[in-house]
Amino acid sequence: MEEFENMSEEEKLKAENDFLKMKMMLERGAEFEKTEKGNELSADIENQFLRNIMEFEKQFDQHKITTVYDKIGRPSQFKPVTEIPDTEIEDAWNELYNYMFDHGVDLTATNPNVTARELYRFTTEELFGHQTDDINISGMISGFIYDEFYPDYEYENSNLALDCIQSVLKRDHLDSLQGLSKKITLNNHKDLSEENFKAIINQFKDAFNDIILHNVEAASCTIEETTCTVKGTYSATGLISKDKLEWNDTWTVIFNFDDDLGYWEIVSVLIQNINF
């Protein structure tokens, strides 16, 4: 006890942090990685961090549920979306967004086609009634993404197809690619595993001193039941010593929707004029 009293405030906090970590390890099975010297958090910040985690787990264990509307204090100042003219909707959405954020709720949309009017409508007509965990910790934000409620498959798959073609045609080795099926077709190579798919592409890349990707565009996206076909164009230059190959052609990426998993997977990649 006397030793504790002789400690500085910093030393007391560090001792308390060690105690809190041990408590979390014993009660929750928490694991803490050793931090490299020079990258440690200050004792007061680490203390607040640990206390926030413990408070979160305490409130989470209580399994209390509330609505977003109740969580943000049941505001009454926000008009129905139908009463807001187009000239005022941007300001109305910004006011609503800032109010929610100040009360610990954030709503974003990854799709740039989602308008301020739709975000306002969705928030007041749907998100307000959405149930969420009743956890209140200073500085903690409950985040929601509009696209998870209303996915735009044409937009999402077109972007994923563009990422795929860019990853295939860029000079850098392909280490990972989002959205691949367990069996993929690459031009005339069928039923490839993800590893074989990447190996063929990287072998192709290794044949060149450099690959310069000039342009990749998506031209169309067609969805028919559980099949989505995205088509586009590309232009690139492959350099081998003093020689070069010019490519200027089309590409197609085909997705299948997995009903069990609930998302789209890339099953075929066709890049015209490329010999993998």
Going along the chain from its start, the domains and CATH numbers come out as 2-61 (no CATH), 65-149 (no CATH), 153-271 (3.10.450.50)
Encode the chain (276 residues) as per-residue pLDDT tens digits: 445 566 667 666 777 767 767 767 777 776 777 666 555 667 777 777 767 676 667 656 667 788 999 999 999 999 999 999 999 999 999 999 999 999 989 999 999 999 999 999 999 999 999 998 776 766 678 899 999 999 999 999 999 999 999 999 998 988 888 889 999 999 999 999 999 999 999 999 999 999 999 999 999 999 999 999 999 999 999 999 888 999 999 999 999 998 887 889 999 999 999 999
The partner residues of 244 in beta bridges, in order of sequence, read 239
Tens digits of residue pLDDT in 127-166: 999 998 776 766 678 899 999 999 999 999 999 999 999 9
C-alpha closest to that of 135 among 63, 68, 66, 59: 59
Tens digits of residue pLDDT in 232-255: 999 999 999 888 999 999 999 999
Q: What pTM was computed for the model?
A: 0.69
